Structure 1
Amino acid sequence: MVALDPNGDHPQDPALDENNGVTSCFSSWVTNLRPEDVPPHVLERAKHLILDGIVCGLVGARVPWSEECVTSVLDFEPPGYCTVIGYEKSLGPLAAAVLNGSFIQATELDDYHSGAPLHSAAVVLPALFAATQVVAKSASQPRGVVSGLEFLLATVVGLETGPRAGLGCGGTDLLKRGWHSGPIFGCPAAAAASSKLLGLSADDLESAIGVACTQAGGLMAAQYEGMVKRVQHAFAARNGLFGALLCRNGYVGIKKVFERRYGGFLSMFSQGNGQTPQYDSRRVIEDLGSTWQLMNIRIKLYACVGGCHGQIEALAKLQATYPERFTVESLTRIKKIDVYLSGAIFAHDGWAPEERPMTETGAQMNAAYIGAVQLIDRQVLLAQFAASTLNRDEVWDLVYKTTCYHDTHFDKLHHVCGARVVVEFDDGAQVEETVDMPKGYDPPITDEEIRMKYRRLAASAIDPDRMEKIEKLVVGLENVEDVSELLDLLAAPTKRVLE
């Protein structure tokens, strides 16, 4: 039997109970979390997620749209004391977080969570880099340095928070409705991580999460043109860091922000989703400390939206199975390509291009274009999205032959980035392939494979000695006495990797 609220106005569903103490419980867990509470394999994975985020930032710092962002920000931001990756410039904490987050997200090579879509490193690391340097400069709360173990534990907190907030809000649903889910789920993640590193009490941490959540937002229309999509996760890094800095001295933010029905975080961002219950705040703390959501953070092997990775692999299997059908010369004989996607990815990436050529951002978010470059180039890496490659006739011939559809089969848990591809040729022959889960789901990408990705990408941006030093520091982070050593290595200039 469903009970009524004390005022008798609304049915009381436990998922919607605004007196269940979820935000307070989560804040206490964060505050009390110790290194020994985190299983060794989880700490090890977190270090490799940090390494992956760092190399994405090193490469992303010098792509053209990142350089445009740096030029604009330096024009109005005064100098500060916080590192900007790849530049011998220092800015204030919030501005540095925005730039560093935009670099990590700049090339679509960064991580993503398969159940509650967000790019965690682009949110958590920029906030923590800046918070680390705030600690060194703080006059009111002098601590001097942040150890590698403190940094690692705060990272674990952030990597756990974003997916949990997202799952409470309906997981992939926000993408279907046109919200950019990562900048929304990322706000509490950056707040919790920064608060942990800064040493906030549970009460102040709850306030910081509330301040971060009231700034949350992000429109997925940013994917079509322009450059701002690259910065939106960075907004979440800034918002969470601001919440932690504002509340560490007792400033009071929104309380009970996860469970509040009127004006609460989950309540507002789940409106209109048609689900029953509309949201479930209990998912924020479900199996907290025993089930680690950061283990469901996926590592990208392709330089495009994660939702199209299954499509890429389905096409690659077709190319391997029917080599004579998929030679470059034979591609002109393709009559049509049908791509079947999950509801979230169909809404996000299954759109038909409105103009030719697309921007780099749009191309990396478009299933038809991504599939075409896999067929033509047999790879989907950063080079496929250079400005000079975006208007190739052979690619657009295949783009125009591609139609995307929603297939409910891929709406199942962890199938969201899967795909079925059907290719029909001019002689009536038809071939198809299905990939339920792209590489990295089951089994996940190994830590060694992450290090290999780091070395491959880092070699294009920095010298071998610096590359080795960064890897050694991150992989041994629990033994590092002062994280500023790592930040100094990140501050040195990087090479431009894309024209």
Structure 2
Amino acid sequence: MGKNSAEVVFDETNDENSGVTATLCNWIVGLEKKDIPDSVLERGKHLILDGIACGLVGSHVPWSEQAVDAVLAYEPEGQCNLIGYEEKLGPLAAAVLNGGFIQATELDDYHSVAPLHSASVVLGSLFAAAQVKNIKVRGSSANGQSQDAGPARTVSGIDFLTAAIAGFETGPRSGMAIHGTDLLVRGWHSGVVFGCPAAAAASSKLLGLSAVDTESAIGIACTQACGLMAAQFEGMVKRMQHGIAARNGLFGALLARNGYVGIKKVYERNYGGFLNMFSQGNTKTPRYDVREVVAGLGDVWHTSRIRFKLHACVGGCHGLVEAVESLQKAHPERFSGEGLKRLKSLKVGLSETILHHDGWAPHERPLTSTGSQMCAAYISATQLIDSQVLIAQFAESQLNRDEVWELVNKTSCHHDSQFDKPNHQCGAHVVAEFDDGTTVEETVQMPKGFDPPITNDEIRSKYRRLAASVIDEERIEKIEKLVLEIDQLEDVSELLQLLAKPTRKAVD
């Protein structure tokens, strides 16, 4: 392990006395800028920038606006900003909405071994945590009324960045300990499960909690963890579920900072523990491995392993999009105009995880925007027709096009075990057969963005492209400068206020 960690000796079993949860919490509390490689700090900044781009675009899509209207109808005004809105809400409501905005269009980051959308849970919680008021002590004044415990908090940029990296590291580790992608096979929305401790870790770090209180915060977050993957079909709530995880982690930290005691040893407990319970029903041996939570802690940085999306669909289908794109480039006469009309069938091989998650046959026409972004057959048809898979392809006006559905109905998905290897689960093998008997095929083992990773230059280009669809150039440049120099900011409030200014709609 790195310098900022306590050495723990593990036996070969998942021992309740292994000290894993405590080790993680000690590492979170002790984490400082000097412990983090410069390349990881830069990647952390770019993860924040990418999350902001997604949040700016996602704040005014129809389902986000409906969520805001619903929450404003019952939630009182608070102190925390919302991305793209002038209204302010309490920290828990703000965390839900901001996290939901970042995940709203399927353009945010993902981790391919332990699938979660890190920016939505980490930034959703941190934007709110940075603006929470100090604890009020009941009966502390002469007349028995509550008083502020101290002056208003100021959060520096380096504290914000360090807290974000603590969250970026905790989420994937929590997932890898229970075989990550296996949760998707069994119908759990994995990122919402792993996201709860990630949000708690980030919030606890930003709020300055002790290791003991951070352990309580993670325990409180983990007992709220849940997420049903059936949300991907019809409902809007799939967009919100990572925001719910952000709220759960922040809630744990806010309770724990006032001494409220959560579950201790939440990772290693056998009876009712986080890893034991969420590994129930899997066929792995062992079902879970608590050591993964702290494996390489301080030396191996998952912040650098988080992938950035270039397509506005579920990350598991990015290999499929790129395989179809390669076929289009290699055989333009077959995949355009009259040639495309002669396509007889499209057979798509996917990993076991992605087959369960996204390989389902559409059960209705049209699909919802959510369902269409999670359906491999629809995604491949969209790439074939439009030669791109971006937000515009999933606007309501585009979801019932005959030319797309003709291709959807010619597409079938099956399991291809070559993609079951770690880091290959988002790959795809595509076989296209035409009515003259001609067959062409393409394999993408790993979509662009893992090996080699997307560059920081490409991330900035993505940010500018997305942001330009909803805000003006001056604001784009100010946000980018503040984020990329966040470690030099004395107070992040300037950034949060800039994000809160109204935005235009990206898509109707």
- Pairwise TM-score range, normalised by the shorter structure: over 0.9
AA in 2 matched with 1:178: G
Give the equivalent residue in structure 2 for 1:394: 403
Q: Distance in 2 between matches of 1:142 and 1:172?
A: 45
1:279 aligns with 2:288: yes
Residue 184 of structure 1 is matched in structure 2 by 193
Q: Which residue of 1 aligns with 2:140?
A: none
Shift of 1:251: 1.0
Distance 1:78 1:186 in 2: 26
Distance, in Å, in 2 between the alignment partners of 1:377 and 1:168 is: 40
Deviation at 1:143, TM superposition (A): 5.7
Task: Give yes or no for the alignment of 1:171 onto 2:180.
Answer: yes
**Candidates 222, 228, 239, aligned match of 2:237:** 228
Q: Choose from 464, 473, 492 the match for 2:473.
A: 464
1:5 equivalent in structure 2: none
Q: Distance in 2 between matches of 1:378 and 1:157?
A: 38
- 1:88-487 equivalence runs, <5 A: 88-135=86-133, 139-140=148-149, 142=151, 144-487=153-496
Task: Check conservation: 1:206, 1:255, Cα contact below 8 A.
Answer: yes
Assess if the C-alpha contact under 8 Å between 1:135 and 1:198 holds in 2: no
Aligned length: 488
Contact 1:15 1:279 in 2 (8 A): no
Deviation at 1:476, TM superposition (A): 0.4
Letter in 1 for 2:330: T
TM-superposition CA deviations, 1:222-281 (whole Å, max 9, x none): 000020000000010000000000001211100000011110001000001011101001
Structure 1 Cα separation of the partners of residues 182 and 133 of structure 2: 37
Gaps in structure 1 of 5+ consecutive residues: 1-11
Give distance in 2, aligned partners of 1:67 and 1:193.
27
Query: Secondary structure at 1:472's aligned position in 2?
Result: helix
1:176 positional shift = 0.4
Cα distance between partner residues in 2 of 1:441 and 1:328: 33
| TM-score when normalising by structure 1 | 0.97
C-alpha contact 1:174 1:180 (8 A) present in aligned 2: yes
Q: Which residue of 2 aligns with 1:7?
A: none
2:132 aligned counterpart, secondary structure: helix
Q: Does structure 1 conserve the Cα–Cα contact (< 8 Å) formed by 2:169 and 2:301?
A: yes
- AA aligned to 1:261 is N
Aligned match of 1:17: 15
Identity of aligned residues (%): 67
Aligned counterpart, 1:87: 85
Alignment of 1:28-107 (within 5 A): 28-107=26-105
TM-score between the two structures when normalised by the length of structure 2: 0.95
Runs of at least 4 residues off by over 3 Å: 135-138
Equivalent position of 2:144 in the other structure: none
Superimposed CA distance per residue, residues 7-49 of structure 1 (whole angstroms, 9 cap, x where no aligned partner): xxxxx97341111000001000000111100000000000000
Provide, for residues 115-144 of structure 1, a one-character-per-residue CA deviation record: whole Å limited to 9, x for no partner: 100000000001111110015787335462
> Residue 487 of structure 1: SS of its match in structure 2?
helix
2:447 & 2:288 partners in 1: Cα distance? 28
Q: Determine the C-alpha separation between the residues in 2 that align with 1:16 and 1:140.
A: 42
- Cα separation, 2, equivalents of 1:375 and 1:36: 48
CA contact (8 A) 1:110 1:119 kept: yes
DSSP-derived class of the 1:469 partner = helix
Q: d(CA) in 2 for partners of 1:405 and 1:140?
A: 59
The answer (yes or no) to whether the contact 1:137–1:144 under 8 Å persists in 2 is no
Q: Is the CA contact 1:152–1:478 (under 8 Å) kept in the aligned structure 2?
A: yes
1:136 and 1:145 in contact (8 A); partners too: no
AA of the residue aligned to 2:375: N
Secondary structure of the 1:288 match is: coil
Of the structure 1 ranges 138-147 and 53-62, higher mean CA displacement relative to structure 2 is found in 138-147
Q: Distance in 1 between matches of 2:157 and 2:244?
A: 25
Task: Determine helix, strand or coil for the equivalent of 2:131.
Answer: helix
C-alpha deviations, 1:149-203, integer Å up to 9, x for none? 0000000000000000000011100000000001100000000000000000000
Give SS of 1:338's match.
Answer: strand
Amino acid at match of 2:476: M
Q: Distance in 2 between matches of 1:446 and 1:97?
A: 29
- 1:250 and 1:228 mapped to 2: Cα distance? 32
| Equivalent pair of 2:135/2:258 in contact (CA under 8 Å) | no
Distance of aligned partners of 1:141 and 1:275 in 2 relative to their CA distance in 1, 3 Å threshold: farther
CA distance in 1 between counterparts of 2:311 and 2:151 reads 43
